[in-house]
């Protein structure tokens, strides 16, 4: 009888413990906030945003000449231009790889972007990503001087990006980047090694900031500014500033803007911008992206 009572008590107590454990609510993961930007491309910068997983992205980027000649070249439309054609693929929701071809310097570039933490509703307040680009200069060897080596063709750009969607209308991002060229163009002031502003003769650090203000469900005002930190005073590389309009749908993004840099590959914008926006060296540019999800 004692064994029967002991077993009954054990059964009731154990059932209560199991029931109590089942009644404890499991910790739920906070939902993700909407991406702070519609596109990964933002005038001359990259953003933390990626297309959905298993998405192919076609990219067309165009830069006209500066508007300083006014009607003589139709505000740069007939002037010297630069263009890049690229293809990106989002392998997972956090990882993108891409390849592109640029007219200036016949540049082939390979890029990678990884978003390792995303902003949550009522949780972590930021989206953080890293971006990298490796460029290969495709010009003939005599463009590099008399002691040419294949490694002289390579250049690199790496950036840490931190962004936040503050509300439905406004998002912003800051970025800190390292840029490096294996060989520096001998035609500009940085070839004078003894007079160089810093010991990083082939490298520099860039600080950037971008912002987007939505004015309708599909239209936004976009602005950007970037500046190399280790540079000469009153000489190139000049800072890059841009202001424009973005129109986006579920599969397309179109940006048209005024900016300073004629380069498109990020290390070219950071390291070789010879257009001074403070002197009115502004050009018209546009970016177009098209998505296909598989």
What's the confidence (pLDDT) of residue 233? 60
Confidence of residue 280 (pLDDT cuts 50, 70, 90): confident
What's the confidence (pLDDT) of residue 15? 47
What's the confidence (pLDDT) of residue 43? 95
Residue 30 and residue 120 in contact, taking contact as beta carbons nearer than 8 Å: yes
Q: Which of 187-196, 197-206, 241-250 reaches the highest mean pLDDT? A: 241-250
What's the confidence (pLDDT) of residue 30? 84
Is the pLDDT confidence value at 201 over 90?
A: no
Give the Cα separation of 284 and 88 in Å (integer): 24
Average pLDDT over residues 250-259: 94
What's the confidence (pLDDT) of residue 213? 97
Beta strands 55-66 and 107-117: pairing type? unpaired
Confidence of residue 160 (pLDDT cuts 50, 70, 90): very high
Average pLDDT over residues 107-123: 95
Whether the link from the prior residue into 93 is cis, omega within 30° of 0, is: no
Please name the fold of domain 31-293.
Porin (2.40.160)
Residue-wise pLDDT for 9-22, tens only, equals: 444 445 444 444 44
What's the confidence (pLDDT) of residue 189? 47
Residue-wise pLDDT for 48-71, tens only, equals: 999 999 999 999 999 987 676 666
Residue ranges covered by each domain of the chain? 31-293
b/e sequence 78-113, b meaning 16+ C-beta within 10 Å: ebebbebebebbbeeeeebebebebebbebbbebbb
Average pLDDT over residues 141-156: 87
Report CA-CA distances (Å) from 187 to 143, 145, 192.
11, 11, 10
Confidence of residue 278 (pLDDT cuts 50, 70, 90): confident
pTM: 0.83
């Amino acid at each position: 009888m004692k064994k029967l009572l002991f077993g009954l008590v054990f059964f009731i107590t154990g059932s209560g413990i199991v029931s109590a454990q089942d009644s404890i609510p499991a910790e739920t993961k906070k939902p993700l906030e909407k991406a702070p930007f519609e596109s990964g491309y933002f005038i001359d910068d990259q953003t933390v945003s990626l297309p959905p997983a298993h998405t192919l992205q076609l990219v067309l980027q165009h830069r006209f000449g500066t508007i300083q000649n006014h009607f003589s070249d139709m505000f740069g439309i007939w002037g010297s231009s630069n263009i890049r054609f690229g293809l990106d693929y989002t392998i997972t929701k956090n990882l993108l790889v891409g390849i592109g071809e640029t007219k200036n310097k016949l540049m082939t570039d390979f890029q990678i972007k990884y978003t390792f933490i995303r902003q949550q509703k009522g949780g972590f307040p930021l989206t953080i990503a890293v971006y990298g680009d490796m460029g290969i200069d495709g010009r003939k060897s005599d463009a590099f001087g008399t002691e040419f080596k294949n490694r002289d063709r390579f250049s690199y750009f790496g950036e840490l990006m931190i962004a936040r969607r503050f509300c439905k209308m406004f998002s912003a991002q800051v970025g800190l980047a390292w840029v490096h060229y294996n060989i520096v163009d001998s035609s500009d002031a940085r070839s004078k090694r003894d007079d160089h502003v810093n010991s990083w003769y082939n490298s520099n650090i860039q600080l950037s900031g971008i912002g987007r203000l939505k004015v309708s469900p599909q239209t936004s005002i976009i602005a950007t500014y970037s500046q190399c930190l280790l540079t000469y005073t009153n000489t190139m590389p000049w800072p890059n500033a841009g202001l424009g309009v973005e129109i986006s749908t579920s599969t397309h993004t179109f940006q048209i803007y005024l900016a300073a840099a004629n380069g498109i590959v990020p290390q070219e914008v950071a390291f070789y911008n010879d257009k001074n926006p403070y002197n009115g060296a502004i050009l018209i540019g546009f970016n177009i992206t098209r998505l296909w999800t598989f």
